[in-house]
A = this chain, B = another copy of it.
């Protein structure tokens, strides 16, 4: 199926959780972080970049530099992370119908409206959890899955 192509959200949650688990106040280098996420340092920096701009994390260059949380883990909702990294991505892809077809135009409007509804639903669900929850393993699977 549509394989997990964009993993930035997953990596970000991992990184934030890792940082939240660091009790000593020392920053963590991209190198160390890349080891845990099995990614490379450049990618780590690219993922953390938007989070830094949003004020969630700090970075410092230099010998004992690295990354650390800028706010409490309990104050970072997963919805925030989602919006920063993948919130602009459509949940389902749109297609380009024949512009001359009346049905096509109507369907396109419908799909756009749907997209926003679904994106809202995703954000609402992610709003319920924070990085602290992920650190504590407090994110449980739903009682019953609607799958199939």
- Chain A residues with CB under 8 Å of chain B are 1-11, 13-14, 17-18, 21, 35-39, 78-79, 82-83, 86-98, 101, 103-104, 106-107, 109-114, 116-127, 129, 133-134, 137, 139-142, 145-148
Contacts and interface: CB of A to CB of B under 8 A. Distances in A.
Contacts of A97: 14, 36-38
Contacts of A78: 114
A99 B33 CA distance: 14
A95 B11 contact: yes
A93 B11 CA distance: 9
Copies of this chain, tallied across the complex: 2
Contact of A122 (B5, B96, B118): B118
